[in-house]
Chains A and B, each alone.
Chain A
Amino acid sequence: MKRLRRLLRQRAMGRAAALLLGCAAATIACADDASFGSVITISNANGEDIYSHICQGCHMPHGEGAVGAGHYPKLAGDAALTSWQYVALTVIGGRNGMPAFGAPESLPWDSPTVHLSDAQVADVVNYVRSHFGNHYKDRVSASQVAQLPHPTAVPAP
């Protein structure tokens, strides 16, 4: 909380605007409120911040996932987390309806998405693999994440 407030003060308007694609975005990121990572440069958010502000919307506060007509996979005790590459690729490129968080900021989505750096992807991967009852010891670095394939902007036809 305290740290977020500090980050708030450090925020760079332009970067936050680029993140959110668009106008309203250019003006969105102004409230002094630690509840909203967008008011900081999200580029400064760490794995825990990212989880609690973005991931838990679907994967739930304790990584328990949810079931409706379909399901959000639980992260607590999920064997798929054994592979850090699987987790990192999912964050970077999305999976099914889950948006990609590792797409370049320039990728022209028709709607707002969020861009995370490789360091942040590494941090949030490490976070989910070491919380919710998960105890994986191997930690992932930004450079390891950088070597995985990322979504790319398409050249004009």
Chain B
Amino acid sequence: MDNLAGSGSLSRRQLLGMIGVTAGSAAMYQAMSSLGFAAESPYREPIDLQGTPPGASVLILGAGIAGMTAAYELRNAGYQVQVLEFNGRAGGRNWSLRGGDTYTELGGYTQHCQFDQGLYINPGPWRLPYHHRGILGYCKRLGVPLEAFVQVNYNAYLHNSQAFGGKPQRYREVKADYQGHVAELLAKASHQNALDASVSREDQEKLLESLREWGALDSNFSYVSSNSVSDRRGWAKEPGGGLTARPIPSQPVGLSEVLDSRLWSNIPSGDSYDMQTALFQPVGGMGRIGEAFGRELGPLIRYNARVTDIHQDDQGVTVSYQDTGKPGSALTASAQWCLCTIPLPILAQIPLNVSAAMAAAIASVPYASAIKIGLQFKRRFWEEDEDIYGGISYTDLPITNIGYPNTGYHSAGKGVLLGAYIWGLNAMEFTSMTPEERVQKAIEYGSQIHPQYKEEFDNGVAVAWHRSPFTMGCYGMWNADSRARHYDDLCQIDNRIVLAGEHASFIGGWQEGAVTSALDAIGRLHARVVARGATA
């Protein structure tokens, strides 16, 4: 960037380098925040399993999205199905915490959620991209109503505690200023013939026209205060009616300050494939999907079952388990086949006779650390005081995000924010605290963005995924090496056992990974069952 200041014209390389700043941030954003490996879901239509032999049976371990997808389809295909679930509820990581709920994390720390009626947070997944056809398809089939999830809110904040005196900036201002300045620079370069080597003269005319449009540049291709610029970034005084009508344009922030702030890093927050509009959320909380599956499957699910041993032989699979309410109890369940969705950190500790290759794969996937904190406030000050309706603010503070409720706008009474959504080292540190300390920290940090926090705070809950008794982590972290070495071994049917879950997918950390992994697994399992015929 130093070269920009002193030189009369820009080399193509310099320009590309500058643009790379944006592309790089987009790529980094994706890695950090989207969970997204941007793989498109292969799901097209409901699976069709024909010709199930009479008496064929499958034991399913885990009543999360993968396990219940498999149970639902296999039951419909005529299998005898039983599901063992550790928790006392269906859904697994598909989960909403609501007022009256109690949650005890590992270490024995118990929280009693005190949210008002109808208010919730989703400790796990919270958004459904439009192209996640599998999970959306089950919402449709199970009658789970959806509403819009706001990913990008132009009036939410981008915040860097070290820039602009720590004052949060509106997304629309940062975006307009960044885009306007970059457009102006490119226009300048084009006028100075710096782009001749890469863009024909004819195309440069079109490029200039597009830059003016894209950056809200004036007739001289400059990004300066104007009505059209204020139409992007907002006004110093808004246009109105009558005698108070006349608007006053706002003043853009200079290029150097925009770049130094690093707030551009979150401009592409809605550009990655997983985050593009339209996104959805179930009305009433993400947990409505798991609850609907649970109702649908009814007595097929055996709750409070802690699996202690999984054993297969030529005849079938026998699973030993305890009733979590009756320590020391020794129960068993058997079937011809087994689909196991137990998260890998737990499965790795359960005696299981599978091939060495599959066992190695099970032991090779570390789980991500993640935190979500829900904060109830006495009023919806983000709407009342700041015109923020849904969406997300991003900050450099350890809380990383503040998510505003995408529902219940203008409701009287209290409201619940997602007060933190954290990955990586900061998540590990939040995990190391007590739930009360986490909530307290979220209040302290969040009040740097919303000073109303301290006055309006009511109560909160904090979920640290590494302290979740039923997952011991948030989701499976793969890399190119572990994928190459272990992924296929993890997904193969091992005699009578097959695994499924987001960990057995390329859409890791997303419910769509769980759905597509389950459908792929039962498709292969069914083919094997049919090939063997009624003798199993």
Contact = CB atoms under 8 A, between A and B. Distances in A.
B424 A21 contact: yes
A71 interface: yes
A110 to B, nearest CB: 6
A27 B107 contact: no
B72 interface: no
Q: Among the interface residues A39, A70, A109, which one has the most CB atoms of the partner chain B within 10 A?
A: A70
Contacts of A29: 396
A24 B348 contact: no
A114 B349 contact: no
Interface residues of B, number: 67
Contacts of A38: 398, 424-426, 429
Interface string A39-55: 10010000000001111
Contacts of B32: 20-25, 112
Contact of A154 (B108, B161, B484): B484
Nearest to B37: A110
B162 interface: yes
Q: Among the interface residues B397, B428, B480, which one has the most CB atoms of the partner chain A within 10 A?
A: B428
Contact of B266 (A23, A35, A60): A23
Interface in A75-109: 94-100, 107-109
A27 B262 contact: yes
Interface stretch (B178-186, B215-223, B363-371): B363-371
B262 A113 contact: no
A35 B441 CA distance: 9
Contacts of A54: 425, 428-429, 432
Contact of A111 (B161, B345, B423): B423
Interface string B437-455: 0000100010000000000
Nearest to B162: A30
A112 to B, nearest CB: 3
Contacts of B344: 96-97
Contacts of B367: 97, 99
Interface residues of A, number: 53
A111 B348 contact: no
A67 B104 CA distance: 12
B218 to A, nearest CB: 31
A31 interface: yes
Contacts of B265: 23-24, 26-27
B508 interface: yes
Contact of B472 (A25, A69, A110): A69
A66 B367 CA distance: 17
Contact of B106 (A68, A108, A110): A68
B174 interface: no
Contacts of B468: 68
A70 B424 contact: no
Interface stretch (B23-31, B74-82, B149-157, B248-256): B23-31
Interface in B477-492: 477-481, 484
B368 A111 contact: yes
Given A38-B425, A94-B366, A31 B445 contact: yes
A1 to B, nearest CB: 14
B160 interface: yes
Given A57-B432, A68-B469, A109-B477, A22 B31 contact: yes
Given A54-B428, A57-B464, A111-B423, A154 B31 contact: no
A74 to B, nearest CB: 12
Interface of B: 25, 28-29, 31-33, 35, 37, 86, 106-108, 160-162, 262, 265-266, 306-307, 342-346, 348-350, 363, 365-369, 394, 396-398, 400, 423-426, 428-429, 431-433, 441, 445, 464, 466-473, 477-481, 484, 508-509
The 3 A-B pairs at the shortest CB distance, nearest first, are namely A97-B345, A68-B469, A112-B424
Interface of A: 19-31, 33, 35-39, 42, 52-58, 60, 66-72, 94-100, 107-114, 153-154, 157
8 contacts: A19-B425, A30-B162, A35-B433, A42-B425, A58-B106, A70-B349, A97-B345, A114-B428
Given A97-B346, A111-B423, 11 more contacts: A23-B29, A24-B265, A27-B262, A27-B396, A30-B397, A31-B397, A33-B398, A53-B432, A57-B432, A70-B348, A108-B479
